[in-house]
């Protein structure tokens, strides 16, 4: 039985550990200690590290983890020089086989130019790094609005019950922003659900694609121009 464990690290990041009873794949280990503790406590053998993009809060733990486990490290071909610890390089259309599961690689550039996602079609799981958040999307550090728009369309076209494993707990701030920009939508139910999750100490990741299609203003934007306006408003938002 395959499951995804969610490990909070740093200020507001999450690491995902996909595992069965004996083997594990780690996604975006920004901090080694909580990951090593988890692997040891569950007696799991690490078989691969998946990296979505080169930012330090996603790769900071790789070196220490590799001192303890011998596992291949995957990242985009674009990030080959920016992630020297990576041993295998990926582009859209590639797929990986781990834990008896296929993970397809999607190019979702925008937040950075080397940003990729890992998608399990069998489980409807998307590990999408900093591209889409619950009620939000990543800042455009390197890509254009058009590139991010194209990446979001790929995500929108996945099955509606896809679970999106996003890596930052920005959800309640994103909700404030969405409420300020869209006064037509009734936010009562989702606000109550998300606030309860956080009050009870649970992460808001993963989120479901159909929920995001209903509420996420970045995914609801119908044209690249509309998307650009929403992104620019968010860049200026102090919530
Ligand atoms: Zn990032």
Average confidence (pLDDT) over 6-17: 97
Mean pLDDT of the chain: 97
User: Sheet containing 23-27: which strands, arranged edge to edge?
Assistant: 3-9, 13-19, 23-27, 45-50, 73-76, 88-90
Burial of 111-130, coded b for 16+ CB within 10 Å and e otherwise, reads: bbbbbbbbbbeebbbbbbbb
Q: pLDDT tens across 102-143, in order?
A: 999 999 999 999 999 999 999 999 999 999 999 999 999 999
Centre of ligand 1 from the C-alpha of residue 138, in Å: 7
The pLDDT of residue 64 is above 90 = yes
Average confidence (pLDDT) over 197-207: 97
Average confidence (pLDDT) over 143-157: 98
> Domain residues of the chain, as ranges?
3-235
Average confidence (pLDDT) over 183-198: 97
Average confidence (pLDDT) over 229-239: 91
Centre of ligand 1 from the C-alpha of residue 1, in Å: 31
pLDDT at position 239 is 63
The confidence band for 205, taking pLDDT boundaries of 50, 70 and 90, is very high
Q: pLDDT tens across 70-107, in order?
A: 999 999 999 999 999 999 999 999 999 999 999 999 99
pLDDT at position 10 is 95
pTM over 0.85: yes
Ordered alpha helix ranges (H), 157-235? 171-181, 188-199, 209-215, 217-220, 224-235
Centre of ligand 1 from the C-alpha of residue 161, in Å: 25
Centre of ligand 1 from the C-alpha of residue 239, in Å: 20
Centre of ligand 1 from the C-alpha of residue 168, in Å: 9
Centre of ligand 1 from the C-alpha of residue 180, in Å: 25
Average confidence (pLDDT) over 178-185: 96
Centre of ligand 1 from the C-alpha of residue 55, in Å: 5
The pLDDT of residue 191 is above 80 = yes
Centre of ligand 1 from the C-alpha of residue 206, in Å: 17
pLDDT at position 181 is 96
Centre of ligand 1 from the C-alpha of residue 111, in Å: 7
Structure tokens at 163: 């679970």
Alpha-carbon torsion, ordered 128, 184, 174, 236, to 10 deg: 110
The confidence band for 238, taking pLDDT boundaries of 50, 70 and 90, is confident
Q: What superfamily does domain 3-235 belong to in CATH?
A: Ribonuclease Z/Hydroxyacylglutathione hydrolase-like (3.60.15.10)
pLDDT at position 214 is 97
């Amino acid at each position: 039985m395959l499951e995804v464990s969610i490990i909070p690290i740093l200020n507001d990041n999450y690491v995902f550990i996909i595992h069965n009873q004996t083997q594990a794949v780690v996604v975006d280990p920004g901090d080694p200690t909580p990951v090593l503790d988890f692997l040891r406590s569950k007696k799991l053998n690490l078989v691969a590290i998946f990296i979505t993009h080169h930012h330090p809060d996603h790769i900071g733990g790789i070196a220490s983890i590799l001192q303890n486990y011998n596992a291949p490290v995957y990242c985009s071909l674009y990030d080959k020089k920016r992630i020297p610890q990576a041993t295998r390089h990926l582009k859209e259309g590639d797929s990986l086989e781990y834990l008896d599961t296929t993970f397809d690689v999607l190019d979702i550039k925008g937040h950075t130019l080397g940003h990729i996602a890992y998608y399990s079609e069998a489980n409807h799981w998307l590990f999408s790094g900093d591209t889409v958040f619950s009620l939000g999307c990543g800042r455009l550090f390197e890509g254009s609005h058009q590139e991010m728009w194209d990446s979001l369309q790929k995500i929108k076209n996945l099955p509606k019950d896809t679970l999106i494993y996003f890596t930052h707990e920005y959800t309640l701030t994103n909700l404030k922003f969405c409420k300020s920009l869209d006064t037509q939508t009734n936010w009562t139910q989702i606000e109550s659900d998300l606030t309860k999750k956080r009050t009870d100490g649970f992460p808001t990741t993963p989120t479901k694609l159909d929920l995001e299609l209903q509420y996420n203003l970045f995914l609801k934007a119908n044209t690249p121009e509309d998307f650009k306006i929403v992104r620019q408003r968010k860049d200026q938002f102090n919530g």
